[in-house]
Amino acid sequence: MKEEFILNEDFYQKLKELLRENQIMIEEPLAKHTTFLIGGPADYLVLPDSISQVSSLVKLCNKENMPFYILGKGSNLLVSDNGYRGLIIKIGQEFSQISVEESDTTIAGKYLVKAQAGIMLSKMANEIAEHSLEGFEFASGIPGTLGGAVTMNAGAYGGEMKDSIVCVVVADSAGNILELNKEELKLGYRRSIIQDNHYIVLEAAFAFPKGKKEEIRNKMNDLNARRKEKQPLEYPSAGSTFKRPEGYFAGKLIMDAGLSGFKVGNAQVSEKHCGFVINIGGASASEVRALINEVITIVNHKFGVMLEPEVKLLGEF
């Protein structure tokens, strides 16, 4: 059971010295900030709108021994029913500017696109397409922000962040601002040095070649139609629940194990795509966690393959 929240007046006053009052929320339900629509309250949640604010918040938390967590769209996250005891720094729409340099700045014939970490991938893909630049179509239907996508080298339909990324601006765990080039990011399958070193993505630059706007739009529409046809987008979820095991597809293993439609409470293995665990209405975090554990156990027993969750857990379970 979650302990009763007691406002830390000193910490709250220091937050108000760094941010406007409308950027600070107290006991904010995290179910409102995740695509699972699940999660108890965070003690504090803030909405920074600049790199300097993020840096100052990290330094404040370190000084005050306040736990903190960086949140984007919450599209790959399961938050405990008890919530989070500490500060959530949400990099969201307040931190979502994008610029496309079409004139003088080119990299080997490609145009530079710079975007802040809180921009939604769908918005970024549309802006890139509007400038007739190609290579980001795959990301148009991924329901997350740029920061999370860069952190885990997100990908879909044969494309990944690493295909076009040039450099990333991050804050380290002490609040210092660093710039990392593509090689320094060590991007792999759903991995990067950002995860390993607990960096915070603030903005990123990409390079894209010119294409034909109509062809780019057609490709985006095709990929999004395929996603809608094959994925249970009508239900809250965190996307693909499990990483792809080497030599297998998680969804097929789960389906072959007879787990299509399998439920724990109001958490269910999607019948449309068995790689998704969905919230069919009012599911708790503990139900989702129990369902994930059951799927892992049954698939391992039947096929000798140990599935690894792609969804991150936050809080006490």
Which residues are known to be catalytic?
Answer: 190, 240, 310
For residue 3, which amino acid is it? E
Angle at the Cα of 169 (from 62 to 131), degrees rounded to 5? Answer: 145
| C-alpha dihedral (43, 47, 52, 56), degrees to nearest 10 | -10
Burial call 204-225: b when 16+ CB within 10 Å, e when fewer: bbbbbeebeeeebbebbeebbe
State how far the Cα of 299 lies from the Cα of 306, in Å rounded to an integer. 7
Burial class (CB in 10 A: 0-12, 13-18, 19+), 237: buried
Look up residue 291 and give its two tokens.
């369902």
121 and 144 Cβ atoms separated by less than 8 Å: yes
Look up residue 201 and give its two tokens.
């993505």
State how far the Cα of 163 lies from the Cα of 150, in Å rounded to an integer. 11
State how far the Cα of 90 lies from the Cα of 308, in Å rounded to an integer. 26
For residue 156, which amino acid is it? A
Determine which helix (DSSP H) or strand (DSSP E) holds 294, and give its type and residue range. helix 285-303
Q: Which residue has the tokens 């991007």?
A: 187
Q: Phi, psi at residue 35, to the nearest 5°?
A: -75, -15
